Amino acid sequence: MSAAEPWSQSGAPLTIREADAGELAGAVTAALAVGARYLTAAAADERAVGGGFRLDHVFRFPDRPGLDVLRVRLPADRPEYPSLTPVLPAVHWDEREAQDLFGITPLGHPDPRRLVLPDDWPAGLHPLRKDVPWNVHPPCAAEPGWAPRLAGGEGVVFMPVGPVHAGIIESGHFAFSLMGETILHLDVRLFQKHRGVEKILEGRPWADAGDAVERTCAACSASHQAAWCEAVEQLVDWELPARGVYLRTILLECERLYNHLNDIAAIPAGTGFAVAAMEGSVLKEQMLRLQGAAFGHRYLFGTIRPGGVVRDLPTDDIAELRRRLARLRVRLGRLAQRMLRHPGFVDRLQGAGVLSRRTALDLGAVGPSARASAVAQDLRVDRPYLAYRAFAPMVVTEQAGDVGARLRLRFREAEVSFELLDRLLHGLPPGPCRREAPGGAERAEGLGIGCNESPRGANVHYVQLRAGRIERYRIRTASFANWPLLMEAVPGNLIGDFPLINKSFELCYACCDR
């Protein structure tokens, strides 16, 4: 693209197709057969506007630039449909979530337990229905009473862990079934950090969503901001200035880089390889400081807003930024050698927490966790957006699907990000970094879907606007997609390796729970 060329987010329209509830499974099977990739599902309550419930499933077809929405309408008095999980296992948590939050029943779901709401929450109270106030506070029971699924048999020991963990770790509850030191089965109860992000956003003008959207998750904050902006920009046909496109891409790549540095430090920490963990955490801190100095916030809050980016990079800063990134790159290269040539360390990672390619595909794994199991998918390349249209990164894959593969993958991807950042900074076009909203934007209507490849994989924001206000907002993050993989990857491993395996997937609780 040329430097002066304006940039439109709206080049790839949504195609909405309606189906009956009974036809849904068939339509999804047909889509999957031609290589469609499932991105997100979103329920909505349309009873106040004369409808019932609406259930959308969003796919990307390999031969089309836009996204496809498969829409089913369900009656207000009997919101139920045959579960899609048997034909598309990746939706199993989406279906449980819609059952909790909207009271939409997926008939025949293999595991219809509560997912998001606590076990002491009153039956029949579905907080994302429009007739339930945003601040409803039903009384809590003293014992929430979760009954985990455990392995049975003589000598099997049940080990509960959490929701408060021993380190500085987010909150979530794990139930291990152990035979000796070997994990037979793991059940998890997440959503301890559920904050009602989507409900809070309803009714707000689209322009006022930023503070909540960016705090869905600090670790993927730029990705969340960019997905929200893309959805809005599509809806109002908002063209970005070329410099804004580049800077937004730079922010997204910086975010990937510091997250990968964090994970590279966390994996040796899980094996007691303290020297490598310390060096990794120094590199992460340097990246956070670089971000604080260049973009005004260590975690990039408040950097991306509809129309471009908030803060420009002064020309003098660009050269300094490139120098600092080059120094970090050299240091990371040395750390990679030190870690990957340490036989004891590498031995510990080999064969730990294996995720097979088949399971990754079946459960809809995304991001580094998918790519380390030989699934070559990356939205930066598969559905190019922002400056990735001109600077397609190399999609890195590993074959083994174990902790070692996920670590090596992050080293290699960090290298790609360094390269990409240098090229973007070098080629940063002149001009404004943000453009004013087009006329009528404050009354925007319709459905916009923003998605990008966060450090953890596909992050999809589904934004329905009515008269400029948010009617429905659903966020499906990479961690939401990938948490179920952990339950598949740990059985057969030693309990002592669990923290290591968990860190290698780098699942975020905050953006899963929302």
Partner 1 sequence: MRNDGPRNILRRSLQVRHVDAGSCNGCESELAAITGPVYDAQRYGLDIVASPRHADVLTVSGPVTRQMAEALGRTHAAVGQPRLVVSVGDCAAGRCPFRGSYAAGEGVAAVLPVDAHIPGCPPAPAEIVQHLRALMRGPGPGQTAGQRG
- Sites of contact with partner 1 (CB under 8 A): 118, 127, 132-137, 140, 142, 144, 163-164, 166-171, 191-197, 199-200, 211-212, 215-219, 221, 262, 278-279, 281-282, 285, 298-299, 301, 508-511
For residue 172, the minimal CB distance to partner 1 (Å) is 9
CB of 464 or CB of 479, closer to partner 1: 479
For residue 117, the minimal CB distance to partner 1 (Å) is 8
For residue 511, the minimal CB distance to partner 1 (Å) is 8
Q: Which of 9, 513, 1, 507 is nearest to 227 (CA)?
A: 9
| Residue 503 contacts residue 469 (beta carbons within 8 Å) | no
The pair phi, psi for residue 275, each rounded to 5°, is -60, -45
Structural element, H or E, at residue 54: strand 53-60
CB of 2 or CB of 135, closer to partner 1: 135
CB of 275 or CB of 376, closer to partner 1: 275
For residue 72, the minimal CB distance to partner 1 (Å) is 26
416 by DSSP, 3-state: which? helix
Return the biggest CA–CA distance within the chain.
71
For residue 338, the minimal CB distance to partner 1 (Å) is 15
CB of 10 or CB of 192, closer to partner 1: 192
For residue 245, the minimal CB distance to partner 1 (Å) is 26
- Placement of tokens 């990968």 in the chain: 260
For 403, the token pair is 């902790």
For residue 514, the minimal CB distance to partner 1 (Å) is 9
- Placement of tokens 């891409």 in the chain: 249
Burial classification of residue 77, based on how many CB atoms lie within 10 Å of its CB (0-12 exposed, 13-18 middle, 19 or more buried): exposed
Burial classification of residue 14, based on how many CB atoms lie within 10 Å of its CB (0-12 exposed, 13-18 middle, 19 or more buried): middle
For residue 293, the minimal CB distance to partner 1 (Å) is 12
Burial classification of residue 508, based on how many CB atoms lie within 10 Å of its CB (0-12 exposed, 13-18 middle, 19 or more buried): buried
CB of 39 or CB of 101, closer to partner 1: 101
For 348, the token pair is 């510990």
For residue 507, the minimal CB distance to partner 1 (Å) is 11
For 369, the token pair is 């966790």
Q: Which of 373, 392, 352, 371 is nearest to 499 (CA)?
A: 352
Task: Report the distance separating Cα 135 and Cα 199, nearest Å.
Answer: 9
Where would I find the H helices in 299-372? 315-340, 343-349, 357-362, 367-371
For residue 13, the minimal CB distance to partner 1 (Å) is 31
For residue 132, the minimal CB distance to partner 1 (Å) is 7
CB of 97 or CB of 378, closer to partner 1: 97
Query: Order of strands, edge to edge, in the sheet holding 182-189?
Result: 156-161, 173-179, 182-189
For residue 282, the minimal CB distance to partner 1 (Å) is 6
Q: Which of 471, 506, 462 is nearest to 94 (CA)?
A: 462
CB of 92 or CB of 194, closer to partner 1: 194
Structural element, H or E, at residue 77: none
What does the DSSP 8-state code read for residue 392?
Answer: P
The pair phi, psi for residue 6, each rounded to 5°, is -70, 160
CB of 339 or CB of 363, closer to partner 1: 339
Q: What is the dihedral of CA 481, 350, 491, 355, to 10 degrees?
A: 30
Which residues neighbour 417 within 8 Å (Cβ) at sequence distance 6 or greater? 253, 256, 257, 260, 393
Task: Report the distance separating Cα 259 and Cα 269, nearest Å.
Answer: 15
